[in-house]
Structure 1
Amino acid sequence: MELQEEPTAGAWGEWNPTEDSARPPRGKHRVAKQRGGLARSSTVLGVGVIAAVGAGGIATAQDRPQVAISMPSLPDLGLGHTEADAQHANASDTAHGAGASARSTGIIAQQAGQHTDAGEMLLGRILQQAESQESAAEAQTRAQAERAAQEAAAAEAKASREAAQKEADDTRLAAEKAAKEAADAKEAADAKAEQERPAQPAGSYSLPTSAYTLTSHYGDAGSMWSSGYHTGLDFAAPTGTPVKAVAGAKITSAGWSGAYGYRIVLELEDGTEIWYCHLSSMSVTSGTVSAGETIGRVGATGNVTGPHLHLEVRVGGATTDPLAWLESKGLSV
């Protein structure tokens, strides 16, 4: 259809149609008919919104389907349309509107189903993730509990080992202490028994003392002796150690003797003299004594550097080696 160009207002002026000018041509009355596409489109749009909300509230304005909206026909202003043309147009619009409504309803239903599936998939993923996190938390809790139990068991085992080691060390130290005390007690008892035991005579002779150590021999040179050499045999022993008579004899002298300290002199039957010097005490000072009898105690009186018995043997008034003389009597010094 070809439209004529509408005249401008300057050429025609304001157009005010009258009853005569608006009369349809050829004496036929034509009524302008409103098309129902807009109403039908509104109904379809409402149905789509309800379907989208029912699918889980996931659909948005951007997801709404595009629907066809038909515009109402303009009134025939005498431009050449006929009644048949109008009826044909109305029928076409009606068919088009019905088809568009059907297509819109199908699209909305399809999209609603898709949104429902998406919602279910999202819910499934959320539940799966929550289950996975719960499983991980339970595994972590179990691991922490196992680690704590292992640490507690290790600490208990360490404490048991340390306690056992300490008990073993205490037992060992106690045993060592007891053994040392027993050894010291035995040594002290042996020393005391040796001191108290009488010198065993060899025939009619006996050692002058017991539990001793020989320190200076006869003939040793030194400035400590007035003659320039040692004239006797020294038996070093603790102060108080018993001193014995070497043979049966009589006491010819007992008392203080200057550098010799306290001294006892015995004279044997053959005239041999035995001098006991530096004594701390004298048990017998006169009379006769027998071999092995206690006559005094070891001391440190006179010119000495420590407690000991200085024994001299004089034959015919001259000194002789006491060690050789005692051995000649069968004594082991």
Structure 2
Amino acid sequence: MASNLPAPEGIEIQEPPTAGAWGEWNPTEDSVRPVRGKHRVAKPRGGLARSSTVLGVGVIAAVGAGGIATAQDRPQVAISLPSLPDLMTGEASVGGVADDNGPDSDDGSGAAARTAARTGIIPRQSDHQADAGEVLRNRILQQAESQQGAAEAQAQAEVERVARETAAQEAKDKAEAARKAAEEAAAAAAAKAEQEAKAAKEAAEAKAEQERLAKLTGSYSLPTSAYTLTSHYGDSGSMWSSGHHTGLDFAAPTGTPAKAVAAGKITSAGWSGAYGYRIVLELEDGTEIWYCHLSSMSVTSGSVAPGETIGRVGATGNVTGPHLHLEVRKGGSTMDPLAWLESKGLNV
């Protein structure tokens, strides 16, 4: 029965002769044409073929991708790889391929390659696994250190932020306290200044009043002396034609001097009915001072000085006894003589 499998590359398969020509075909080693060229027939060996190489590379890749710990725990697998010189020349000497001298060459290259594969590649694989584990461990440590550094930096930033906020709040509190203190100091200073100004104003007013009174005292004089006040302004009674008293009565002995209360001029002097003998003294501001019930008149015209005697106390006119009836008029109206005299600084 003829085989339908394709012939391996580089191997020539002779078609068996027909049964009629050759009879039963039983090929032998001598009847097979020898293989020429660089093609080799892989002889089955006790080790792994090229598929084992691919498997070994896959294992290394898997270990490098993160299975280092698992790969290191498993027993090492014998992997056959071509040596570097064979890879450069293109002639494989390991992995189940024979050299030009044939599978049974005695030059020792196949054994050397297998020895190199066992003694060189496997240790390098172990070294690679150890280096990869160290790289992973270093990477994990670096990541942990980076995370720890980031956490420390974040904590330091938080501490600095809290410190800045605390310092800002303290500065704000200090500024607010300073502002309040300044406002309180300003208010206290303003109150003190106001009190001092008020006290100074009162003192100035008092001094001015004293000066005014002193000036008035020197410019004004009481109308008579040794007197007694008997009737005041506004008193009511039938003895007065108007129904009330229009002046201030200074009861004094007849002949007591009647004096000018201020500088002015005599505008009228003579008999005036119920007023008896009367002198009218007009002051500089137009105020008229009436001296009534005089027993005599010393000055009847002209200017007079404060305190100058212009007549004498008497009991002429409508009277009940000797006294000086003093009236103060301005604009034709009467006013209280006592208040007017006191306003001029006189102690009546």
**What TM-score do you get using the length of structure 1 for normalisation?**
0.49
**What TM-score do you get using the length of structure 2 for normalisation?**
0.48
